Structure 1
């Protein structure tokens, strides 16, 4: 036979030869198969395939021994092939061709070719079925992608409409705040003129008083001291409402042009948290919208911290020991504070437009800590004597003006609920810990 045997027929013939070789007496083993016989049965057909196939093709004696074994192992198949009935329908074509090859039955070349043709047709049919299945699967995936793209486009259109509405609302609020800013500037200019006039009058009165007696000079000195104290008191007694208004204006101006972020310049304007730390306790009206959105992220996702710090003018208030005892509970309180402040200092350096305040519970230590080194851009507060940090956090939130984004980092349910009712956005401590670990 000039044509090479099909791989499936050749494998079947090699398997027959390997099984026969295992049972042959040592003296009957062909010289070319002595090394193959030493292989373990599980590897004999695979590692000795080439010498076994050569022996089956060239060694008639060995092929005859294999034929004898086939007559014992497959008597029905051998009998049907030797008779005129033909091979049974259930027999595999490669097995029929292999038996015909070993027995050298009349027309065995035709049987081998028929087996090769059947195997090729079966492979082609399998490939066609796989191709049909692949096309069907790809069509289903294409339909799914088209449907997903349609849904995503619809969602994007809805988001675009919401974004346009928010932008329009922001523009409207910006125009309103600009009007208020002009009114405040006019009022401030009037106050400056009045103050300058009063100063000129005081200087003139002082020059006139120099010509009077010692008693009058003493009186003038007392009046000047009283006037100086009055001026200092008036500067320090700036109302919390003015501070809130200025913070709100800074926030809106930062959102509009970003000049403070680009120039990275410090500001001398007080913040509401500075006033609260000195004892003022004026509550701001509730604000149901704090201006902070996590854009679909989970509450404890560290990316939420980056989202809120990206909001211009945001005030991030951290419940200090609530965070550190969850992340660094095995350390001392001083080490906990130092580690938290170090991480927040790095965040403050990346978000120069944000305000960060950390509140620690003074009752957690035997004495008020001295020399706490606050990083640049981070305010550190301790609760007042006899009070918890929770009360100080609520006081800070209520001191903020309506419209300013305020975020409170805490896992205390009561503090979170109270902050939310006061207009702040609560975030779990796990989100900040994960963000600091990522840094």
Structure 2
């Protein structure tokens, strides 16, 4: 039979002893019938063991302290679980091999003679162990602080040495900058002198240039007068040539009439049907309303529009135009749509004046949006197929023409010019067409 304790005589329990008591009380609570459970603990019967241990710990500790019957049931569980510890405490001895928490919990529950000293001894031992651990931790912290202090002192000495070195370097740099400043001032004064002399020389050259300009203007007036005289002589010579060519022109016209009549008879004999289809119509390409992409200009010689006039006067001539090559050469500052419209409109006027067949090719390899191009009468507008450049489209157009037909290709691309020459076409520089269209 345990001895009841007087109020206030229970020593303060260490945390590990309190946890052990609560665990024993929770295990005992799970074995009791509902009628045997103390009233304060009955709401926790529905909890799972793990949840009850978390939420009912204060109520379990209070029941152990205040409910002697409940404490006796927990003590019975301790006698069954720890018989050696219970017998030793009942005999007034302390088993040396027992766990401190189990020993204190058993003494608290069994209330054997001297149980307060047992619990107090365990509490003191726990406090001493905690104090020892705190002392060891404090010593370790002190050692760490001493080590950090040594490191900081070493770092401080290193920083001082580094700052001194940087200070010496800064002083040396300041001295160097002062020396350079002095040199820069000297150079500035020298440069100012040279600048004054350069201004004087420029003024002298300007005066000489004005004098040369006056002499050049006088020479230009003399040359213009001479040119007017030469043009008068040329006009007279042309009139004489025209008068002398009258008979030769009549013979040539008669010969051309004979050739034309022969060609008409041959066409009638071969029964060739009339057709508006041209070889260029059979070349596969993208029609307007699809996409196009610009190409950069390249260089070619010969940009006299008179050459183009002579070629367009050939019968049944086919003029093939490298679209972006021409627009980039003539008016590359405009937007692509404006470039196309300006070129195609100009080609429409050229067709109206010369009657030539005109095909304008644009690069459409990388375009994925439709492009609207107004096509004047007589102007064929083509875009290269996907994966093909306008240069390749032009080569296919020229290769598709019959041998002997005059074909003129307008492009400043040297590769295009070389390719069409091998096919029998005549290349003309892009600027020749630009100047021809500007002339109207």
> Normalised by the shorter chain, which TM-score bucket?
0.3 to 0.5
| Greater gyration radius | 2
Q: Normalising by structure 1, report the TM-score.
A: 0.43
